[in-house]
Amino acid sequence: MLVTQEQIFKKLSDIEKKLEKFMKETDSFSIEEISLNKACKLLKLGSYSVIQLVKSGKLQARVYRDSKRKLRYRFRLVDIRAFQQNNKYDQVSLHADEVESAEEIAKRFFNQKRSA
């Protein structure tokens, strides 16, 4: 039985499609957790912004204290993916309410110089 390159390629592409479909299905049921650092990298945000999203209830996380009593955050990968798909966010819209006017920046800058 001779197997041509076309047959091998076709079989391989079928296997890749099935594997991709399987990975998409299992991703939705995954219980894999990631750290705050990895969540920041996936969301392309800083740690402060991610913690604020957790506190506001927009992003789910497991919050606990470790043996040294330090506050830790763990994120399910499924929750990160759902947040990315449901909220087509950008960094500007997350901090839109925090924008300072030029006058406020000047006042803050010059008041700090006087007190120093």
Q: In terms of domains, do 21 and 57 share one?
A: no
Residue whose tokens read 């920046």 = 105
Of 42, 49, 102, give the one whose Cα is nearest residue 78. Answer: 42
48 and 78 in a common domain:
yes
Residue 73's DSSP bridge partners are 63
User: Which amino acid would we find at residue 22?
Assistant: F
Do 11 and 56 share a structural domain? no
Residues 24, 55: one domain? no
Whether pLDDT at 46 is above 90: yes
39 and 89 part of one domain = yes
Which CATH number fits the domain that encloses residue 90? 1.10.1660
Residue 77's Cβ-count burial label (10 Å; 0-12, 13-18, 19+) is: middle
Residues 24 and 44 in one domain: no
**Domain match, 65 and 107 both:** yes
Range 26-45 average pLDDT: 84
Overall domain count for the chain: 2
**Is there a single domain that holds both residue 57 and residue 5?**
no
Which domain does 45 fall in, by range?
Answer: 31-115
Tell whether pTM > 0.75: no
Least confident of 7-11, 16-20, 30-34, 72-76: 30-34
pLDDT tens column, 53-103: 999 999 999 999 999 999 999 999 888 888 888 876 554 455 556 677 888
